[in-house]
Structure 1
C-alpha cells in the first residue's frame, strides 16, 4: 500500500509580501520528477527561488531535495520532511517564491516552505493505493442470498454475478487479506464454495 495525493494541485499563499506557490504532482520515477521541476523553473523563471523535494517508491526509497538558492536547510529539507512525516510517496513538490522585500529569517523560511506543502496536501486530499485480487465464488443457487449478505457485512462489494447452472459472484479483496477471506468463506459455508483467484489490480481509496 502506498499513500499519495488525490490529484495534482497548485496552492498559493502570501507570507510577509512574498508569494509562495506550491505545485504538487504525482510521479513514479525520478526522471519524471526532475522533468516537472525543470518545467516549473521554466514557467516561473522570473521567480527568486523554485525549491523542490520528492519521494519515489513504495517505501520512499528515493528522496531528494533542493534549496535552490535559499539558505541551506531552510527550504528543500523542510519540504521533504513533510512528505516523509506524512508517509507520502510518488510525489514531487515545487514551491516557487517571489520575494516581497521582507526577509523571513531561517525559522520563517522553514515554516513557510513546510507550511506551503502541508497546506497544498490538505487542500487536495490523499488516497491510498492498494493492490486487490479478483476472487470468483462458485456456488449453488440456495447459497446465493447468504453469501451475498456475508460479503456485504464484510465490506466487500460484489463486482459481478453470473447465473447459469450455478451462481458465480466476483469480488475484489485486498491482496494482503485474501487468504484470510478464503479461510473465512470456507469455514462459514462448510466448504461448499468453489473459490478461484483471478487478476490483480491497483485501486485508489480516499483517506
Structure 2
C-alpha cells in the first residue's frame, strides 16, 4: 500500500484584503498529537483572531476532523480538509491562522483564502509517498552483477548499499506488490543462480532522490 505523507512540514502566508492567513503543516500520528500541536500554534500566534484547522489521521480507516474556530460555518475548516483530501495526504494536520485586516471577505472570499493558504503550505512542504514493502538482499557473483544492476535500473529500483567480498551483496527496498515479480526476473536473468532474500518488512519513501526507511 502506498500513501502520501508529510515528510517535512512548513509554513506559508498569504494576504487577502489586509488579512493575513498563515498555514502551518504538520505530520501527526494521532488525534492527541494533533490537538497538542494545535495548542502550541495558538500560543505562538496568541494575538490572532482565528486558528482554523483540519486533520486526516490513519493509513486505511482515516479519521477526519475540522474546525472553523469562529469563522462562518463551512468557510474555513472544511475548505482546509478538502485540500487535504484533494492532495490525498494521510496523517496530516493543517492549521491556518488568520489575523483580521479590518475588511470583511464574505463567505466566498474566506473559502478561497483558507483554501489558497492551505495549498501554499503544502506546496512548500515535503510530501512523499510511503510504500509498504521489504528490505531485500540480493547475493550474486561478479559474473552476474552487471545483469542484476541493469535489471534494477530498468525497474527504477535504487541500490541502497553494496558489500563486495567473495560475492556481492546488494540491498534494495521493494514494494510488496513488486517483490514476487523481482524474484522471478532475478531468477530468470541469472539462470537460477541468484535469489532475492527478505531482510525485514518495512516502509520506505524516496525523499529528493534518496530512499529512506521509516520506523513503522
Contact 2:13/2:120 (<8 A) preserved:
no
Q: Which residue of 2 aligns with 1:159?
A: 160
TM-score normalized by the length of structure 1: 0.91
How many aligned residue pairs are there? 207
Q: Which residue of 2 aligns with 1:190?
A: 191
Q: Which residue of 1 aligns with 2:77?
A: 76
Which runs of no fewer than 5 residues in structure 2 stay unpaired? 209-216
1:112-149 Cα distance to aligned partner (Å, 9 max, x none)? 11111011111224211123412222333322222222
Q: Which residue of 1 aligns with 2:38?
A: 37
Using a 3 Å threshold, how does the CA distance of structure 1 residues 155 and 102 change in structure 2: closer, same or farther? Answer: same
TM-score normalized by the length of structure 2: 0.87
* CA–CA separation in structure 2 for the residues paired with 1:17 and 1:162: 59
Describe how 1:119-138 pairs up with structure 2 within 5 A: 119-138=120-139
Does residue 166 of structure 2 align to residue 170 of structure 1?
no
Does residue 39 of structure 2 align to residue 27 of structure 1?
no
Contact 2:53/2:68 (<8 A) preserved:
yes
- Report the more deviating stretch, 155-164 or 2-11: 155-164
Give the drift of 1:6: 3.8
Give the drift of 1:22: 0.9
* CA–CA separation in structure 2 for the residues paired with 1:90 and 1:182: 32
Give the drift of 1:173: 1.6
RMSD: 1.9
Does residue 115 of structure 2 align to residue 114 of structure 1?
yes
* CA–CA separation in structure 2 for the residues paired with 1:150 and 1:200: 22
Which runs of no fewer than 5 residues in structure 1 stay unpaired? none
Q: Which residue of 2 aligns with 1:2?
A: 3
Give the drift of 1:17: 0.9
Contact 1:158/1:171 (<8 A) preserved:
yes
Give the drift of 1:165: 4.2
1:56-89 Cα distance to aligned partner (Å, 9 max, x none)? 1113611000010011111101110110111011
Give the drift of 1:44: 1.9
Give the drift of 1:2: 1.5
Residue aligned with 1:72, SS: coil
